[in-house]
Structure 1
Amino acid sequence: MPVISRLLSIPLRIAEIAFGAVVAGIIGHYLASYDSIEPWPEARWIYTEVIAGLSILLGLIWLIPFSSGFFSWPLDILISFAWFAAFGILVDAIKHLPCGSIWSWHFRGSSVCGRWKAAEAFSFLSAIVWLVSALVGIWFTFRVRDSGAGSTRRRWGRSRGGAAAPAATA
């Protein structure tokens, strides 16, 4: 297992766990504090909470240093897309609040705007980190395949040297 891949993978997985925990805490606070809201915003927040929980769980599992964690890049891409969807949900929710631009991520002002902006920012950052983690996994996967490390398979009709066996002469 290449050292560079592992050195990149561990901080990315830790960031995935941390960003998911921040979003889960903020959205969980809002879910716990509102009893009588209409079901549609609550469903969007539950979706974001589920994505944050999955991110924390998968980040913890894939933090264990095995090379098989690099082959999970299709799920990394899927989780990244799910985080981009959660970011869109949060952007749609915050546009109804008087908090300024959605890309202005300073967390000053009212606590409501600050929390929403933090959830929005960390969901976007989580999507980016999951995407970068997928790219590291793709790089590792194709590097291992190209180097042939650990592979003892031979192509059909070829000897170990790569050339066809010499024909017997009579």
Structure 2
Amino acid sequence: MALPELLSILLRLAELVFAAIVAGLTGAYLHAARGATALSLARFIYVEVVAALSILFALVWLLPFSGSFISWPGDLFFAVLWFVGFGLLVDWLGGSCGGVFEWDGIGFGGDAGGCTRLKADLAFVFLSGVVWLVSALVGIYWVRKHTRRAPVVTTTHRRRWYRSRV
């Protein structure tokens, strides 16, 4: 098995695991925020839907006969969806739990205002976007390496335009 094929399988597994973690963390937040309006939870609903679709497509593209390398446009599309979700969550967080990549004070102890879960959700959304992007790049590399180009035909003589083959 070549390196791109092995890397593709590992990336698909990482996509599946990260999407499941995001679905669990976001679902726990949505469950805790029940009673709120759907408009105020729209960002989290978006991330939950992207996570659910990512789980589905990661499972389908993980199958060996599904041609996972030619699905790089889908990988690129999911990377964009994940990065949009990351931007939406960063905008919603708005510095209330500190900087986006500030991990001071986060531990396994008490959860001060849900910041630990939200930052973990944010981190896995970002990681999922990166993994989908790398998967798209590996797919582009594989497709470019394995596409056949039409051979250049060189002729040594020219046919006259008035002569027919019949």
Matched with 1:103 is 101
TM-aligned CA distance change 1:87 to 1:70, over 3 Å: same
- In 2, distance between residues paired with 1:66 and 1:143? 19
Is the counterpart of residue 58 in structure 1 residue 57 in structure 2? Answer: yes
Q: More relative contact order in 1 or in 2 (CA 8 Å, sep 6+)?
A: 2
Matched with 1:136 is 138
For the aligned residue pairs, the C-alpha RMSD in angstroms reads 2.3
Is the counterpart of residue 123 in structure 1 residue 125 in structure 2? Answer: yes
Deviation at 1:166, TM superposition (A): 7.1
Mapping 1:151-166, distance limit 5 Å: 162-164=153-155
- In 2, distance between residues paired with 1:67 and 1:25? 27
Aligned length: 155
- In 1, distance between residues paired with 2:66 and 2:2? 11
- In 1, distance between residues paired with 2:53 and 2:156? 53
- In 2, distance between residues paired with 1:51 and 1:67? 21
Mapping 1:1-170, distance limit 5 Å: 3-66=2-65, 68-95=67-94, 97=96, 99-105=97-103, 107-108=106-107, 110-111=110-111, 112-145=114-147, 148=148, 162-164=153-155
Show CA shifts across 1:123-150 (max 9, x none).
00000000000000000011001xx3xx
Which runs of 5 or more residues in structure 1 are unaligned? none
Show CA shifts across 1:44-89 (max 9, x none).
1111000001111111111112372101111111100000011011
Deviation at 1:105, TM superposition (A): 3.7
TM-score by length of 1: 0.81
TM-aligned CA distance change 1:144 to 1:164, over 3 Å: same
1:105–1:118: 8 Å Cα contact kept in structure 2? no
2:30–2:41: 8 Å Cα contact kept in structure 1? yes
- 1:30 match: secondary structure: helix
Deviation at 1:39, TM superposition (A): 2.8
- In 2, distance between residues paired with 1:67 and 1:40? 37
Instruction: Name the stretch that deviates more: 123-132 or 29-38.
Output: 29-38
2:60–2:66: 8 Å Cα contact kept in structure 1? no
TM-score by length of 2: 0.83
